[in-house]
Chain A
């Protein structure tokens, strides 16, 4: 299959400052790529290069097989770009705003009202159709911007921090919306500072710092790669002797690196387990067979914050 977005050694410098370097990535239809990095990592610069807004210093990129540097005009119909900061025009209504962008893509004139209706429905802005753009709240403007990205039904969406400045509910809404668009087969790049925000709907992530893509790939693989052990939390009935017996049993297990009694939750043991899911099931079965009075056996949530902090060094330009 041909990659929808393909970048090869993209590099952008501003004077002596290297904003992006050695950026190589392939994304396929349906991929949602979470693009994470601290401030100044070069996320916006990268996205702008893919969006034909700035010219890479060197390297190449294609969207739908078309060279971004050589044929920017041909690439533009395939991308929907949402900048991290954007302004809206005064004195113009929501539908007129969308009509303007729609007209810019030059579809048959009769189809425009239908398209506007569709994107308004998708972004849940139908009741604001006749409101003035400048009266919308920040979150609504964000959704409006997403709506304008959709008027030409692009194959690729480049979303630069679409969830920043939104309340938790709006964040969830926009994430659901992005996941839905991904399910429709669009290739999406979403940037953010916060990894957990992206992990639940992205199938690929990349962590960038100081212009370099430190790691990228499937979410599972990356987390595995960076965190080779699983954290298991095993609780037993309120009984100190049961806890002691459990600790002894686990200490001898070959696949367990470390066992500690958890200090936060009573009668709970924290286990660093190096096996896979099947071996984890076998462990549970054996514990039950040995008649430990288990009340819970759970894998603690992947601590992506930890992953992020481990990968990045915190240095900025």
Chain B
């Protein structure tokens, strides 16, 4: 006889929303935790970690405050007590504890996931996982959650040391809560980086090396961006929500820094924390989708979603940069520049407008090459040959499909997003309207011309090489050559090349013309025209090559 057990509320919820199952009762998490927390090993590990934190806390306290915690030596002939001095020393102690903690997290978090997928592959247990109904989402989120579980254990175990900070007065309870929250989110980003390389790299050791290289890059990038946006926003009174802390917090070391008094009320801080969580989750989501894409499980199409997310992140980045640039300008308008020790000119705004485009441009061909359709898998090529018109047609509603025609609209959307961001950013400028008409026309022209150049270059690469990866590499090299080589020529023997008329040969020159605002639109037009000329040449060559190829491929009848 069987007794019917009433389903628990959680079961009922899971039945209602099956998507939740990735997060609750994920079998992978249960298995990983079972293996990790097994037997005495985990006790030894946790005991050792606690001991380490304890030693660090005590010695850190002794070193940074010059005082021992030993009550026997604590009394006696104490030197005269200076409250300011003591406060400074306690802050030193706070830094010591939290920077150690964030360094530990930065080092451990990526390692937890770097070997997860590639390890399963190496162990030949991955196929067993894939043939179950578990999706890529289950597998990746499961791996990420096992890592999170372990990291939260580390954070919880460090609580005694940070409690000491609160007790001794180096930090407030709110500080510690905030720092723990930020560190937890950052550690998830770092784990997701490890997870991505675990999916993308074929050998465990290589995956770990790549992961740490990427984490170092992430650390440096967020440090620089964070420091820059902090310096932009701390002196800014007109725009309380100019990006600053949200960006800085992405860096685990900047995340533990105490918040300056000027950062505003706790409500403003809370808003910033929500914004930070939003940005962080965009990054995590992007990394997870990229991992799914690299996992390459047959039956999981993640390419379109990946493109959408890159687009969204680009938009957020551009809009954020614009907003922050605009805040400089507002300061400018309000006359702060005269009273501040630093000068705020209009140059930075133009720089930040062009910068994202200029930096990303060399990487665009990589996204773009499949649009040419020359490197489709054997079956698809056969189909394309049956239907030659399909090869070249731009199919707008396929912008987000993984098909070969899908990349072109994606690229155009990307450019328009960046341009839109630039326009929004520029709208904060004084004399905006006259500027806008110029930049819209000239910038649009420039974007179309450069887009055309990139398209033709990747078409050229696609006609020369059939393998996808080699075609991308070729396209990349071609663009570097066309865009970068003239600069080499120009810089040779030219000290002041900005004034040289040949400069416009360099199609990236608008980015450099920003010092002379007047010349900017003119420079855009000139560079666009040159890009278009290059594009036409490339297009003619590409068509010649593929016509030649078609002729030789035709069966001899």
Q: For B124, give its contact among A51, A54, A81, A83 (CB under 8 Å).
A: A83
* Min CB–CB distance B131 → chain A (angstroms): 4
Q: For residue B128, which residues in chain A have a CB less than 8 angstroms away from its CB?
A: 81, 83, 86, 101, 145, 148
Q: For residue A55, which residues in chain B have a CB less than 8 angstroms away from its CB?
A: 298
In the complex, chain A residues 75-92 whose Cβ is within 8 Å of any chain B Cβ: 76-77, 79, 81, 83, 85-92
A196 adjacent to chain B (CB < 8 Å): no
B232 adjacent to chain A (CB < 8 Å): no
Q: With A86-B127, A87-B125, A100-B30 known to touch, is A110 a contact of B133 (CB < 8 Å)?
A: no
Q: With A73-B133, A79-B131, A86-B127 known to touch, is A52 a contact of B35 (CB < 8 Å)?
A: no
**A91 pairs with B38, CB closer than 8 A:** yes
A105 adjacent to chain B (CB < 8 Å): yes
**A53 pairs with B131, CB closer than 8 A:** yes
Q: For residue A57, which residues in chain B have a CB less than 8 angstroms away from its CB?
A: 377-379
* Min CB–CB distance A45 → chain B (angstroms): 13
Q: For residue A105, which residues in chain B have a CB less than 8 angstroms away from its CB?
A: 132-133
Bound together, the chains give a CA A83 to CA B124 distance in angstroms of 9
**A106 pairs with B379, CB closer than 8 A:** no
A104 adjacent to chain B (CB < 8 Å): yes
**A76 pairs with B131, CB closer than 8 A:** yes
In the complex, chain A residues 10-61 whose Cβ is within 8 Å of any chain B Cβ: 13, 48, 51-55, 57-58
**B131 pairs with A81, CB closer than 8 A:** yes
* Min CB–CB distance A255 → chain B (angstroms): 51
B16 adjacent to chain A (CB < 8 Å): no
Q: For residue A214, which residues in chain B have a CB less than 8 angstroms away from its CB?
A: none
Classify chain B's interface size: 20 to 34
Q: For residue A124, which residues in chain B have a CB less than 8 angstroms away from its CB?
A: none
Bound together, the chains give a CA A89 to CA B123 distance in angstroms of 8
In the complex, chain B residues 1-42 whose Cβ is within 8 Å of any chain A Cβ: 5, 11, 21, 25, 27-28, 30-31, 34-36, 38
Q: For B134, give its contact among A89, A91, A104 (CB under 8 Å).
A: A104
Bound together, the chains give a CA A79 to CA B31 distance in angstroms of 22
* Min CB–CB distance B382 → chain A (angstroms): 9
**A73 pairs with B132, CB closer than 8 A:** no
Q: For residue A136, which residues in chain B have a CB less than 8 angstroms away from its CB?
A: none
Bound together, the chains give a CA A88 to CA B21 distance in angstroms of 24
Task: Convert A258-288 into 0s and 1s, putting 1 for each residue whose CB lies closer than 8 angstroms to a CB of B.
Answer: 0000000000000000000000000000000
Q: With A103-B30, A104-B134, A106-B21 known to touch, is A81 a contact of B299 (CB < 8 Å)?
A: no
Q: For A53, give its contact among B27, B122, B127 (CB under 8 Å).
A: B127
**B133 pairs with A76, CB closer than 8 A:** yes
Q: For A96, give its contact among B31, B123, B298 (CB under 8 Å).
A: B31
* Min CB–CB distance A210 → chain B (angstroms): 19
B135 adjacent to chain A (CB < 8 Å): yes
Q: For residue A91, which residues in chain B have a CB less than 8 angstroms away from its CB?
A: 34-36, 38
**B35 pairs with A92, CB closer than 8 A:** yes
The residue among B130, B132, B379 with the most chain A CB atoms within 10 A of its own CB is B132
Bound together, the chains give a CA A90 to CA B124 distance in angstroms of 13
A72 adjacent to chain B (CB < 8 Å): yes
Q: For B31, give its contact among A83, A100, A110 (CB under 8 Å).
A: A100
Q: For residue A51, which residues in chain B have a CB less than 8 angstroms away from its CB?
A: 127, 131
* Min CB–CB distance A9 → chain B (angstroms): 13
Residue of A nearest to B28 (CB): A100
* Min CB–CB distance A241 → chain B (angstroms): 66
**A52 pairs with B132, CB closer than 8 A:** no
Q: For residue B25, which residues in chain A have a CB less than 8 angstroms away from its CB?
A: 103
Q: For residue A110, which residues in chain B have a CB less than 8 angstroms away from its CB?
A: 5
**B34 pairs with A52, CB closer than 8 A:** no
Bound together, the chains give a CA A103 to CA B30 distance in angstroms of 10
Q: For B132, give its contact among A58, A69, A85, A104 (CB under 8 Å).
A: A104
Q: For residue A86, which residues in chain B have a CB less than 8 angstroms away from its CB?
A: 124-125, 127-128
* Min CB–CB distance B421 → chain A (angstroms): 38
Q: With A13-B378, A53-B127 known to touch, is A106 a contact of B34 (CB < 8 Å)?
A: no
Q: For residue B135, which residues in chain A have a CB less than 8 angstroms away from its CB?
A: 73
Residue of A nearest to B382 (CB): A58
The residue among B30, B131, B133 with the most chain A CB atoms within 10 A of its own CB is B131
Task: Convert B140-175 into 0s and 1s, putting 1 for each residue whose CB lies closer than 8 angstroms to a CB of A.
Answer: 000000000000000000000000000000000000
The residue among A48, A53, A100 with the most chain B CB atoms within 10 A of its own CB is A100
Q: For residue A73, which residues in chain B have a CB less than 8 angstroms away from its CB?
A: 133, 135, 299
The residue among B38, B127, B134 with the most chain A CB atoms within 10 A of its own CB is B127
**B35 pairs with A72, CB closer than 8 A:** no
Q: For residue A100, which residues in chain B have a CB less than 8 angstroms away from its CB?
A: 27-28, 30-31
**A72 pairs with B123, CB closer than 8 A:** no
* Min CB–CB distance A143 → chain B (angstroms): 15
Q: With A58-B379, A76-B131, A106-B133 known to touch, is A52 a contact of B31 (CB < 8 Å)?
A: no
Task: Convert B294-338 into 0s and 1s, putting 1 for each residue whose CB lies closer than 8 angstroms to a CB of A.
Answer: 000011000000000000000000000000000000000000000
Bound together, the chains give a CA A54 to CA B127 distance in angstroms of 10
The residue among A51, A72, A87 with the most chain B CB atoms within 10 A of its own CB is A87
Task: Convert B30-71 into 0s and 1s, putting 1 for each residue whose CB lies closer than 8 angstroms to a CB of A.
Answer: 110011101000000000000000000000000000000000
* Min CB–CB distance A289 → chain B (angstroms): 62
**A89 pairs with B31, CB closer than 8 A:** yes
In the complex, chain B residues 85-129 whose Cβ is within 8 Å of any chain A Cβ: 122-125, 127-129
* Min CB–CB distance A42 → chain B (angstroms): 17
Q: For residue B36, which residues in chain A have a CB less than 8 angstroms away from its CB?
A: 91
* Min CB–CB distance A83 → chain B (angstroms): 5
Q: With A96-B31, A106-B21 known to touch, is A89 a contact of B125 (CB < 8 Å)?
A: yes
**B127 pairs with A81, CB closer than 8 A:** yes
**B124 pairs with A87, CB closer than 8 A:** yes
Q: For residue A103, which residues in chain B have a CB less than 8 angstroms away from its CB?
A: 25, 27, 30
Residue of B nearest to A79 (CB): B131
The residue among B5, B27, B28 with the most chain A CB atoms within 10 A of its own CB is B27
* Min CB–CB distance B137 → chain A (angstroms): 11
Q: For residue A106, which residues in chain B have a CB less than 8 angstroms away from its CB?
A: 21, 133
**A52 pairs with B27, CB closer than 8 A:** no
Q: For residue B34, which residues in chain A have a CB less than 8 angstroms away from its CB?
A: 91-92, 96
* Min CB–CB distance A258 → chain B (angstroms): 50
Bound together, the chains give a CA A90 to CA B5 distance in angstroms of 34
In the complex, chain B residues 439-480 whose Cβ is within 8 Å of any chain A Cβ: none
Residue of A nearest to B7 (CB): A108
Residue of B nearest to A76 (CB): B133
Q: For residue A52, which residues in chain B have a CB less than 8 angstroms away from its CB?
A: 130-131, 298-299
Binding site for B on A (CB under 8 A): 13, 48, 51-55, 57-58, 69, 71-73, 76-77, 79, 81, 83, 85-92, 96, 100-101, 103-106, 109-110, 145, 148
A sample of 21 inter-chain contacts (CB < 8 A) reads: A13-B378, A52-B131, A53-B298, A58-B379, A71-B299, A73-B133, A76-B132, A83-B128, A86-B124, A86-B125, A86-B128, A87-B122, A88-B123, A89-B31, A89-B123, A96-B31, A96-B34, A104-B133, A105-B132, A105-B133, A109-B11
Binding site for A on B (CB under 8 A): 5, 11, 21, 25, 27-28, 30-31, 34-36, 38, 122-125, 127-135, 298-299, 377-379
Q: Nearest 4 pairs between A and B by C-beta?
A: A87-B123, A72-B299, A103-B27, A104-B132
Given A71-B299, A89-B125, A104-B133, 19 more contacts at CB 8 Å?
A48-B127, A53-B298, A54-B298, A55-B298, A57-B378, A58-B379, A73-B135, A73-B299, A76-B132, A77-B133, A81-B127, A83-B128, A87-B122, A87-B125, A100-B28, A101-B128, A109-B11, A145-B128, A148-B128
